[in-house]
């Protein structure tokens, strides 16, 4: 079986939403993105673990600044890992591709951009508005 392209995926009728072909496509995409994320975390950790051997204050200051950025990157990437696992679990349970709040389809274009999406664009926008409104 040859892998399906994004164009073929998007060309499927709405009646075929979240069929086995689409679920397989997204499972593969999520696994690939998870592996890439884990690799990026390991590369960043390796860079952190190898400080330059320089006595120059400017070089040390630059290394410290880069280290702070790497730590933020690692933390951000690390927070993605459970999202990949949750999305794979939703694929197994048959809930993948549907908004956790409304139950409506999230839509293939949104899932292609963010395969770990849990909410439709409308629900996400409303939730973000509520968060912003109630924070104030």
| 50-61: pLDDT as tens digits | 777 777 888 788
Q: Output the six-digit token pair for 83.
A: 């999202």
| 92-125: pLDDT as tens digits | 999 999 999 999 999 999 999 999 999 988 787 7
Helix axes 57-93, 20-48, angle to 10 degrees: 160
Query: What is the number of helices (H) and of strands (E) in the chain?
Result: 5, 0
Model pTM score? 0.83
Tell me, what's the pLDDT at 49?
A: 83
| Coil, strand or helix at 51 | coil
Say how far apart CA 44 and CA 42 lie, in whole Å.
Answer: 5
Tokens 């770990």 correspond to what residue? 116
Q: What DSSP character marks residue 120? A: -
Tell me, what's the pLDDT at 128?
A: 75
Say if domain 6-97 classifies as CATH 1.20.120.910: yes
| Dihedral sign computed on CA atoms, order 105, 107, 112, 113 | negative
């Amino acid at each position: 079986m040859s892998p399906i392209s994004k164009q073929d995926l998007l060309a499927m009728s709405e009646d075929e939403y979240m069929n086995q072909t689409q679920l397989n496509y997204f499972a593969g995409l999520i696994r690939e993105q998870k592996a890439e994320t884990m690799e990026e975390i390991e590369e960043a950790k390796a860079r952190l673990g190898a400080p330059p051997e320089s006595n120059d204050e400017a070089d040390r200051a630059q290394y410290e600044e880069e280290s702070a950025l790497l730590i933020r990157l690692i933390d951000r990437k690390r927070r993605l890992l459970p999202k990949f696992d949750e999305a794979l679990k939703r694929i197994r349970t048959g809930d993948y591709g549907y908004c956790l709040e409304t139950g409506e389809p999230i839509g293939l274009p949104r899932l292609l951009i963010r395969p770990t999406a849990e909410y439709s664009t409308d629900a996400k926008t409303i939730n973000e508005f509520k968060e912003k409104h109630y924070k104030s």
